[in-house]
Structure 1
């Protein structure tokens, strides 16, 4: 009679619900740790970039500026067409040339503004003369360089700033920031415009350095005409000396 040896019965491993839950939780915990390690800080907003540009411009202390106007009125007696020169912020000062229509006559006017005084060299006059900006119907150009109330002061006043296009300008990559400015801020600075209206503004900020390379202002500078002034800034921090002529 043949006897067979009984084989041990192989029972499948039973994983309890508690064990499965523990495994799942362990996996989730690892995923959370990986996510925390790989998460990045939020990208800077348009307002963040304007704040950076504000600080860079103030820290520079000096800058070269050009300003050009387009779609200007033909029936105004006095208005600025363009300007070019360099300025300092401490104290606010300007030395350059303003092209303007004064009493219906267009002229290039060498101009120095310093310590609240304005000197201009008018056509057919051999030297600079001290004058009042109100008499010429133009702003004191030194105010453009005031570290609080000047051009740099427009940056934090920009309403609803948004990041715009990125483009290359020579060796620089420029990030646009668009928004609006209250009319009072614009008219106080440029001595022209409807203080009750809003003005569109487009900044061109240089990536990496966050210098303000351009400021384009569009609105009713000479109502009802809609005009644009474009300001270009460069030569940040280069030596500038402005003295009384």
Structure 2
């Protein structure tokens, strides 16, 4: 393998591994009543909105949206190796596409504002000096980020795969603390996480979701062993907007 191809692969790995795995979300929408009082989510008509019904509704919201504006970050830092520290961008559902920037540690060096585009089934990373390079996410045990809104293999299936769900006390959040958000905690089986990141090492992951009164997933925190031999890491992704529409094309 040439030095150039090694640099491209290592950089792409740092861009993709870890952060793409941890899909968690935050959105903006109004409402004063907690989601547990949203009768539209009472699928069985028993007068009670269960955590499972809330997750099913939140999955449907993600599956139905045209696109989302997202940001991802972690305050944790692995002791060794490349990792994703933050990311932000737009994911479009149809045709599946992603346009954003990432930051992290690459080959032991901090790197920021790295452009990433996925369009027409191809993932591109803009490597310093070398320019845009197309890469295969399968080489890095990571999905194409454009597929994270896929109803079957994206982020939304994690919501309905979460076990031992419990609702917490509602709280204020969002823009100017005007949203009523309800936290839900639970446990994700490692196999569910590996559907979007095959190399995630943990057997189980702790998950905390915040759902607004309209039933939209607004924030998710997923904690567990993402990197072999490292302590648990928490990734948080905020969905800053639903219904995003944007044309994304391959870089020239």
* TM-score band, normalised by shorter chain: 0.7 to 0.9
Q: How does 1:15-94 map to 2 (within 5 A)?
A: 41-76=46-81, 78-94=82-98
Q: Is the 8 A contact 2:120 2:250 kept in 1?
A: no
String of CA shifts for 1:71-103, please: whole Å, max 9, x gaps.
Answer: 221212x22111100011223221001213222
Q: Residue 122 in 1 paired to residue 127 in 2?
A: yes
**Aligned-pair CA distance for 1:187:** 3.1
Following TM superposition, where does structure 1 have runs of at least 4 consecutive aligned residues deviating by more than 4 angstroms?
A: 134-139
Higher RCO (C-alpha 8 Å, min separation 6): 2
Residue 105 of structure 2 is matched in structure 1 by 101
> What TM-score, normalized by structure 1, do the two folds share?
0.76
> What TM-score, normalized by structure 2, do the two folds share?
0.74
Q: Residue 131 in 1 paired to residue 138 in 2?
A: no
**Aligned-pair CA distance for 1:42:** 2.8
Residue 167 of structure 2 is matched in structure 1 by 163
Name stretches of at least 5 consecutive residues in structure 2 with no aligned partner. Answer: 1-44
The CA distance in 1 between the partners of 2:220 and 2:160, in whole Å, is 14
Q: Residue 175 in 1 paired to residue 182 in 2?
A: yes
Number of aligned residue pairs: give it: 202
**Aligned-pair CA distance for 1:143:** 2.8
Going from structure 1 to structure 2, the CA distance change for 1:190 and 1:82 (only over 3 Å counts) comes to farther
Larger radius of gyration: 1
RMSD (CA atoms): 2.0
Residue 238 of structure 2 is matched in structure 1 by 232
